[in-house]
Amino acid sequence: MHIDVKYNWILPLWIPLVGMIGAFALLWLSAKLLAFVAPTTAAVARTTAKESRSQPLFPAVIALGFVLVLLALFLPYGTFGDDIKMMKDTGLMMILVLSIILAVCSASVSISDEVDGRTALTVLSKPITRRQFVVGKLLGVLTPVAIFYVILGSFFLATVSFNTKYQARENSLPIPKAEQCQAEMLQTVPALALAFMEAVVLTSISVAVSTRLPMMPNLLICAVIYVVGHMTPLLVQSSIGKLPIVTFVGQFLSTLLPVLEHFNIQAAIASGRDATLTLADWAAYLGWAGAYCLLYTTIMLLVSLLMFEDRDLA
């Protein structure tokens, strides 16, 4: 079947379509497995996820995400050939920031507001322990964040494919083949995976903060951690050869706070010393970043349990 070269960017769209189906299938299987292994925790997670999705914020954030991703597609970056890279960076940053806002608001509504409104006291009067409550809340808050990433991430990949053709036309270059559009999309998939890992880490921090503080302090703390977490490597490097107190502060922040630059696509490329990393290189880096994400999320879950264990709910 012959397809006009102007529509070559449509052919690779099977990638986000299959990815979306696979991601939703994985979420469904994970929910079924959790219900089999820990039914009480699964019930809390299911209720929390349902409440978060029913909030007006959830469809509003998704709609805003669609608008911002489209805006990033047509912004004039003026980079003389690097517009695709800038479009990717801008779109990923927008998706990440919106996911953090969604996570903070969901965590605050499902934990902080329930504690203040004494709804949590009613829930814990049933055969549900505080540990099951906190773990279920974390998983329940992560569910709409994951759904958000699946939907917006698939749409973002489609815009990357279209932007490959769009930039070629704007720069009077030959119309790219479907293979070129597909390659640009596949190069973006690891970046989306790393951004989601960063969102998971910040969500776990937000849940921990929500056990003690309301939404606005929670949002402020997460914003500060987001900024400082990306600046940590720079702070550590700038402390070399400086005053001992500066060195101590830099090392202290890099130990206490998450090093979010691990989830930066540019850091991943730099670590491979080549802009064209092989599949094995990406698998190794994503595996290492995933292990760091799991470790820090587990630590923050333990912090959440400690902070909530002696919380007065009456």
Average pLDDT over residues 100-120: 83
Per-residue DSSP letter, 278: -
Whether residue 88 is predicted with pLDDT greater than 90 in this model: the reply is no
The encoded tokens of residue 48 equal 């929390």
Assigned domain for 179 exists: yes
Kindly report the three-state secondary structure assignment for every residue of 50-83.
HHHHHCCHHHHHHHHHHHHHHHHHHCCCCCCCCH
Q: Count how many domains the chain has.
A: 1
CA–CA separation, 253 vs 238, rounded Å? 13
Helix axes 130-170, 39-54, angle to 10 degrees: 50
Domain holding 285, by residue range, is 5-309
Helices (H), the chain: 14-37, 39-54, 57-74, 83-107, 113-116, 119-124, 130-170, 178-210, 215-238, 244-256, 265-272, 279-309
pLDDT class for 166, splitting at 50, 70, 90?
confident
Residue 122, CA distances (Å) to 52, 131, 281, 311 in order = 19, 15, 50, 14
> Which has the minimum average pLDDT: 41-45, 182-186, 201-205?
182-186
Assigned domain for 314 exists: no
In this prediction the pTM is: 0.88
The per-residue pLDDT of the chain, averaged, comes to 83
Whether residue 7 is predicted with pLDDT greater than 80 in this model: the reply is no
Using only the alpha carbons of the chain, give its radius of gyration.
Answer: 21
Tell me phi and psi for residue 265, to 5 degrees: -60, -35
State pLDDT tens for residues 123-154: 777 788 889 989 999 999 999 999 999 999 99
Assigned domain for 110 exists: yes
State pLDDT tens for residues 19-68: 899 999 999 999 999 999 999 999 999 999 998 888 899 999 999 999 99
Assigned domain for 94 exists: yes
CA–CA separation, 123 vs 48, rounded Å? 12
Assigned domain for 199 exists: yes
